[in-house]
Structure 1
Amino acid sequence: MSTSIVLPAAGALLLAAGLAGLLGAPGLTGLPAHVAAGGAIVLVTVQAATALIRRALQIHAATRTFGPCRGAGLLGMGAVTAGVTVLAVLVTGPGVREHVAMGGLVAAALVYLSGIILMPGAATTIPARLRRAVDGAGVGTSLAFAAYLIPGERPMPPAALAATLLAAAALSVIVITALRVTTYRPAAWLCGGGAVTAILGLGGVVHYAYEQNAYVLLGSSVLVAGGPLAAAAGARLTDDGPTPAPPGTPESVLTGYPVLAVPMLIALGSAIYHVLTGHEFDTRSILIGLSIIPCVVLREILAVIDIRRYSRRLAAQEAQFRSLVSGANDLTLMIGADLVVRWQSPAAARLFGLSDAEVVGNSFAGLLHPDDRPDAVSTLRGVLAADGRPADRPPLITARLRDGYGAWRDTESTISDQRDVPEVNALVVHVRDVGDRTALERRLHEVAYTDQLTGLPNRREIMRTLAAQRAVDGHTGALLVIELLGIANISDQRGREIADALLIEAGRRMRTVLTPDDLPGRLGGGEFAVLTVQGPVLAYALGTRLLTVLTRPYHLPGTIVDLHVSVGLAEVSASSSSIDEVLHRADLARRRARQQGPDRIEWYDSFLEEQLVRRMDVEREIVGVTDRRELDLVYQPILSLPDRTTAGVEALLRWRNPALGTVHPGELLPVAEDLGVMPEIGTWVLSTALRQLADWTVTHPALTLTVNVSPRELAVPDFVHRVAAMLNAHGIAPERLCMEVAEDRIPHDMPAVVTQFAKLRALGVRTAIDDFGAGQASLAQLRRMPVDMLKVDGELISRPIDPESGGQPLIDVIVGLGRRLGLEIVAERLETTEQVREAVRAGLGRGQGFRLSRPAPAERVEAFLTEPTTLS
């Protein structure tokens, strides 16, 4: 506390004590002493009032309004009024000081009362302030009535009695207001206590005015000076801004009746005691007692007004609640601990067609689908067992609910435990119809996991199911990857509609041979997949059935289409490294099946992967092979069997790659044809072989050259012109060149082979069919083929027509056919002496093979031409 307040307070007390003669020696006397004592008390109260007014100005500066600062200002004015009253009582004489004291008491009490009611955090509305005043007046009057009935030495003057009643009422209002404050409670209690202290001190001053009791004056001075100091300390504890009363505080709800009931009971007990002790009621006591009635009546009127106002508010809130609940998109249920529905919102009839009779009083679980009921009951039991403890996630029930029309509706329910609210005491369940959302989710799932053309699961669904299948320990199965060959060509040649119809029909056929446990799907383009739970043997059998149904002719509007199919299989198990690896293995097997020929099925193994990796390496390295000069030719002599002289040579291609080593034609040519580089390689082979033949012509002018050619090379439009140009360039006669095509390659490009062979023969070049008897060329086709020579494999020379009966050798039939058609028969791949002997016996004029001579570079072949034993 500031010394500017403490020192005057101490001086005031000393002056009052000396004035009263309480210091042991004659005190200060005379008017100057009275003025000094009163002035000191006034100085203390003015200092406290200054602090209160300064606080009011601070609040005003912060809020730019007088509302929040009025309480502090009025408390300051009350302090000044109390101090001036003390000074006036001390300086006035008998007959006047009594009235001055009572007037100052009433004035200070009213000002203090106004300041307390207007303090921040106290009553902020007029009805609340009126209730405080009525309650305080009733309490004060009741207590004053009880006090008046206590027998005294002499009756109190009427003016003093009225002032006392007013002061008592003001004190009661101040106390009630301070006790019912919820915000700034310490500040309210300090300010209220300071006001009560000052008013009680002024009451003592009034008593001093009548009785001239020095001790009462001293105590009253302490109270009058100390009350404003406490109020000033309390005012500092409030904020600068206004603080409205929060909802639910006594200001916003009805004030309880015990505030008046207790003092009234005290007054009633005093009256009964007064009668029982033989005393009578005088006019004053009767008037004081009757003054309680207006307070009770007014309080009752205010209570009725409050009740009606709150009734209207509750009715409005109930109407708002009903409109919100009725118009909500959720059904609200109140469920007891026994899981019986106690109440449902009015939206039940609108949303689900459910009446109260169908729901209320029945078990909530009975409304749910039997399959969803156990999980829902378990969730509800879990919420009940939690007993209001917060869960990690809000409880959620997803279940189908039967509506009023008997249909099952997809719903989602959230649960709120409101058992701690006495008015509810139940689980509040909000049920929402999620049927549209569920349907949308299913539709999105179909779009995301279904092939839109065939209606089969797509790649994403196959991979998802494959991952789930791999996750099951001990589970085995297989993945089949199926490719419909030629779909892209059909789309280009016959239109996209025909290709789509083929894919749709293929998907339908696949379903006819699958079991419910098998999952078919389309990976994209002409590729399909089947995920089966069957083991390897049954999976292979399933692949065979799929080959059968998918290769049947497709009868489409206006056309019939034949398709070839390749199928690859891979095992599915928990030991598989990943789902991508499983798909990769099945796809590798499918590629191998395609390389081996149409309508085949291949099972993945490590050797197959090695072959495919080798092929990919070949595909990578073959690009630019002629520019890098990695190609080479070896030559195998063709001998005249009767005298073993060299009649010609066959040029054989070799690829010597630094990374791959030596690559033979059987591995090189299929890749070259698939990648479209075969014409380039064939041109290099023919040019190199003719250049070498030109070198040998000097010493061996009758030597012939045989070169292999593929149907892809023959299909080049200017193939014959390029052959003629190279013959002319190297000075080689056309009849010394023979071009041969493998029999198994002819059926795929029969028209091109026939056309180009005819042109070559017209040029003078000889033509031949290689590996005759190994393919599917029929005898009737030989009459159409413009060929000069048939090359027969050594294995056919000793083979009879009917191996079981040991009939005529097949080579004799072929030789007879050749003679009738004017064709020369040449034996190739003669590996044993028996095969050579049988070829001579059959009358074959020429032959080649390891038993006669091996392929060798040009230098060694040139030596062989001079000395035939060098290659044997």
Structure 2
Amino acid sequence: MLSVLVTLLIGVSLVGLLRPLAATTMAGAAGCALATVRLFQLTATGGRERQARHRRRAATLLNVAVTVVGLTVAVLPVAPTSRRAEVVATGLGAATLACAIGLLLLPGHSRLTPRARCRRGVDVLGLGTALLFAGWVLVPPGPVPPVVRVVTVVGAGGLAGLLVSALADRRRRPGAARCRVGVAAVLLGLADLVVLLAYRAPEAALLTATPLLVGGALLTAAGMARVAAGDPADPVGPPSAWPRVTAPAVVATVAAAGHLVFVDGFTPTEVLLGLAVIPSLVARELISATDNRRWAGRLAAREAYFRTLVSGGRDLIVVLDDGLRVQWLSAAGERWFGLCQDEVCGLPLADLLHPEDAPVVLARLAARPDDGAPPLVARMRTGDGGWREIESTVSDQRAVPEVAAAVLYVRDVGDRRRLERELRRVAAPDPLTGLANRQELLRVLGERGGPPGALLLVDVHVPGPTQDGPGPAVDGDALLVTTARRLRDVVGPRDLVARLSGEEFAVVTDAGSVPAYALGERLLAALTEPCPVPTGMARLRVAVGLAELTGTGPQDVLRQADLARRRAVQLGRNRIEWYDACLEEQLVRRLDLERELPGAAARGELDLVYQPVLALADRRPAGIEALLRWRSPVLGTVLPAELLPVAEDLGLLGELGRWVLDRACRQLADWSTGGRELWLAVNLTLAELLAPDLVPRVAAVLAGHGVPAERLVLEIAESRLGADLPTVVARLTGLRSMGVRTALDSFRAEHASLAQLRRLPIDLLKVQPRPVGPDEDARPLIDVVVGLGERLGVTVVMAELESEPEVDRATRAGCRYGQGFALARPATAERVEAYFEEFPTTSR
């Protein structure tokens, strides 16, 4: 707003609507008044510390000086015309005194060294002499008023001192520098008025002092406000030099040229003043030359010092340009790596790196890593054509104009890496097999950059040294050593083989998932080959779990592979299982089953459902089969297909079998009291059938519930008979001898099944109507099986009849009994009793 007012006043005076003296007075007084208000506010702020007191005193004195300037300008219109120059000169003197004291009280002065004082004094002398010469020769020709001479001499020196000190402190103390420039502008404006008024110049010329007075006063107030705020230094940057020698010479030259143009000739005094500029310039040049020599000496010494440090170290320093080409390398390149600077400079960095490592290093450098980035690990070419393992840190200076390069600090770590590998080789291997141990495996997995890759967990079941049953004892340690040797023979040279526990091994491969699966197949084939032992040959049973290295932690990958391995073990070994999320869900389900199953019978969670067996001729019930159900409050209803494998692994089959037999016989006894003479079938596992106490235990249960032995049918699935057929025959014979009927479930019409049917002492044969193979020709010949059963005295039961066409086909084949959803579904005992009410009492 003030600048607009000043511009308006000057414009109005130039067009003749206002006297120039009045415009100068009004603008100057307004600017000084505004500056006075701001400075007065600063005198009332601050604490009681010493610097705050100095700031208040400096603000007060500068306020007095600005007030004096404003009053001097304000009284000009009322002062006599002949006295106006003296009035302004008086105000100039008073303002100069107040400003000098105020500027000296500004805080932040630094103690200068004698050399710095000398340089500062020469700068002030040179600029002051040049300004004095300019003011002396640029006054109009003729008699010079004494007041002009005084103002010229005093003003030149003061103005030079203010400008030189302001230029010197413009970065360290910008607020104080602004105060000095503002004071210099105000004093220059008053001096301009003195000269113009002394020579009675036209009033329009007085307008030249207006910007100096107003701008100087406001700049003084702004600088003092910054000083009061603590005078923060400007951002650090390269110091901008000002022409200490050129500026005085230019001022003197311009003044002399103007004098020659307008006056034509120099007086002896003017010649002497012009020559007085030269000694200060020569002195400043000598000081600059001395400083340059001193700084050059220091720079040379420092350069020699750092060159000695760089050339004497073992670390190689490589400077790269924006194109990642070698610009310079230190002397360590030739001394330790055999790389000559003349041969290497200009080559791309990729030519010095191993082809396998170059892409990774160049990608890291292209991404402009910061100083906190991990070191670059690679192999560098040596002068003799070999390779050295190196570790490099990067100082990216490509954004700095003075450097514009990337600096690599290269260290030869080959000996250290070889020592580390040797220590790991000595400390990490398993003492029995010589393979890596679990800690080494986790370290390798943790250091991998990411996929592709896979982890194979190999579980080897080795026959123990004191195995039960017939056959020789086996040395387990010898078989583990053989397993380790076979693993090393199959895997690749860069794959890691480790032993995690007694019979568990691991293989880390860089191959993708599909090649890793093929590797697992080869491992499985090699490990399942018979192993020679002192007493013959031993066969290992192997389970392999495969997990991909997807960038997760080592423990997570190991857990995933272990879940896949456990799945392979559950499915019977000699197989490979691939980890996926579905597999983990299944294994979690398995763990829940293993946790909840113990004690289920005692908690009353077991239950039986019953499925009737009907006579196909009249669809009347002839028998019933008891089916086990586990009603878990946590897992829901669990069927035997999921329940029995868990019970077998936990050793609970005997407990479940005893509970099922007891509950089924109790229910059969309850139904017998109603006059129904149905037989009831109970399923047995192979382990229950082979138990030595099966026959007496069945006899005890029958006697305890008063159930006739011929009313009980014990079923064994054909697929579970196994190789121990003589023992199975003996147990079935024992059961038949006490009157219990036996049944062969899930009979398959194959050559092997038909061959062993004659050897089994059974009463019932349960056959499925669906084909056993994908071809229609493989469909079991029901009529042939029924005929064979009649010749052997075995009753055939057609099971799993799920549609009426299947029922009709079984009936036409001559089968007496049938069972399935098409006839009756499994139900609880209460519902089965209600179902029985529909039929009269029968005996089958």
TM-score under structure 1 length normalisation: 0.54
What's the counterpart of residue 398 of structure 2?
417
Note closer, same or farther for the CA distance 1:397–1:115 as it changes in structure 2 (3 Å cut).
farther
Q: Distance in 2 between matches of 1:59 and 1:861?
A: 119
Identity %: 24
- Partner SS for 2:407: strand
1:202 correspondence with 2:181: no
The change in CA–CA distance for 1:98 and 1:382 in structure 2 (over 3 A counts) is closer
* 1:311–1:249 CA distance, 2 compared to 1 (3 A): farther
User: Could you say if the C-alpha distance between residues 123 and 249 of structure 1 is closer, same or farther in structure 2, counting changes exceeding 3 Å?
Assistant: farther
User: 2: CA distance between counterparts of 1:172 and 1:614?
Assistant: 93
Task: Pick the aligned partner of 2:380 from 380, 388, 401.
Answer: 401
Write the distance in 1 (CA, Å) between the matches of 2:38 and 2:789.
136
CA contact (8 A) 1:414 1:430 kept: yes
1:504-519 to 2 correspondences below 5 Å: 505-506=482-483, 508-510=485-487, 512=489
Q: CA RMSD, aligned part only?
A: 8.1
Q: Does the C-alpha gap of structure 1 residues 269 and 237 become closer, same or farther in structure 2, counting only changes over 3 Å? A: closer
- Matching residue's letter, 1:236: A
Q: Please tell me whether residue 240 in structure 1 is matched to residue 225 in structure 2.
A: yes
Paired with 1:124 and 1:720, the residues of 2 have a C-alpha distance of: 112
Alpha-carbon distance in 1 for matches of 2:360, 2:459: 45
Q: Deviations over 1:530-585 (max 9, x none)?
A: 9998999x9899859835732634759x99975434689999xxxxxxx99x9999
In structure 1, the partner of 2:661 is 685
How many angstroms apart in 2 are the aligned matches of 1:505 and 1:480? Answer: 18
Post-superposition offset of 1:262: 1.9
CA offsets per residue over residues 186-211 of structure 1, 9 Å max, x none? Answer: 87665433211212333456xx4xxx
Shift of 1:483: 5.8
- Relative to 1, partners in 2 of residues 1:745 and 1:617: Cα closer, same or farther, differing over 3 Å? same
Instruction: Assess, with a 3 A threshold, how the Cα gap between structure 1 residues 98 and 650 changes in structure 2: closer, same or farther.
Output: closer
Match of 1:55, SS? Answer: helix
3-state DSSP of counterpart to 1:64 = helix
- In structure 1, C-alpha distance between the alignment counterparts of 2:629 and 2:74, rounded to whole Å: 129
SS in 2 for 1:193: helix
Q: Which residue of 2 aligns with 1:288?
A: 273
Query: What one-letter code is carried by the residue in structure 1 that aligns with 2:186?
Result: G
The letter for the 1-side match of 2:486 is: R
* TM alignment of 1:85-164, pairs within 5 A: 107=93, 111=97, 114=100, 127=117, 130=121, 132-144=123-135, 146-147=137-138, 152-153=141-142, 164=152
The answer on 1:550 being equivalent to 2:528 is yes
- Rounded to whole Å, the distance in 1 between the matches of 2:703 and 2:482 is 56
SS at match of 1:630: strand
Residue in 1 that maps onto 2:184 = 192
Deviations 1:137-168 (A, max 9, x none): 221243256458x8x545x6999757643334
Corresponding residue for 2:248?
Answer: 260
Aligned mates of 2:90, 2:783 — CA distance in 1: 153
Partner of 1:58: 42
Letter in 2 for 1:137: G
Q: Is the Cα contact below 8 Å between 2:166 and 2:181 reproduced in 1?
A: yes
Matches within 5 A, 1:177-576: 183=174, 190-203=182-195, 208=198, 215=200, 231-242=216-227, 243=231, 246=234, 253=241, 255-265=243-253, 282=268, 284-285=269-270, 287-300=272-285, 302-303=287-288, 307=292, 333-335=318-320, 341-344=326-329, 359-360=344-345, 364-371=349-356, 400-402=379-381, 407-411=388-392, 413=394, 415-417=396-398, 420-421=401-402, 424=403, 426-431=404-409, 452-453=437-438, 484=460, 505-506=482-483, 508-510=485-487, 512=489, 543=521, 546=524, 549-550=527-528, 552-553=530-531, 562-565=539-542
Counterpart CA distance in 2 for 1:832 and 1:91 is 143
How far the C-alpha of 1:717 sits from its partner, in A, is 8.5
Q: Which residue of 2 aligns with 1:821?
A: none
Number of the residue aligned with 2:806: none
Query: Which letter maps to 1:402?
Result: R
Q: Deviations over 1:385-424 (max 9, x none)?
A: xxxxx99x99998864336795142546464435854xx4
Equivalent-residue separation in structure 1 for 2:337 and 2:44 (angstroms): 59
Contact residue 566 and residue 590 of structure 1 kept, 8 A: yes
Q: 1:312 to 1:83 in 2, by over 3 A?
A: farther
The one-letter code sitting in structure 2 at the alignment partner of 1:407 is R
Q: For 2:576 and 2:204, how far apart are their aligned partners in 1?
A: 117
Structure 1 residue aligned with 2:16? none
Secondary structure at the aligned position of 1:256 is classed as coil
In structure 2, the CA distance between the partners of 1:459 and 1:271, relative to structure 1 (3 Å rule), is closer
User: Which deviations, in whole Å up to 9, do the C-alpha atoms of 1:629-683 show, x marking residues without a partner?
Assistant: 525598999xxxxxxxxxxx99975559999xx9999999777655624444346
Deviation at 1:118, TM superposition (A): 5.8
**If you compute each CA radius of gyration, which structure gives the higher value, 1 or 2?**
1
| Structure 1 runs not aligned, ≥5 long | 14-21, 24-36, 384-389, 471-478, 572-578, 638-648, 776-792, 802-809, 819-823, 866-870
Alpha-carbon distance in structure 1 between the residues aligned to 2:710 and 2:73: 152
Who is 1:576 aligned against?
none
Q: Distance in 2 between matches of 1:224 and 1:797?
A: 126
**Aligned partners of 2:815 and 2:375: how far apart in 1?**
88
Compared CA separation, residues 490 and 320, structure 1 to 2 (3 A): farther
Q: Does the 8 Å contact 2:43/2:59 carry over to 1?
A: no
State the shift of 1:64 in Å: 0.2
Change (3 A) 1:725 1:559: same
1:58 partner amino acid: L
Distance apart, 1:134 and its partner CA? 1.7
**Any residues of structure 2 matched to 1:626-665 within 5 Å, and which?**
630-632=608-610, 654=627
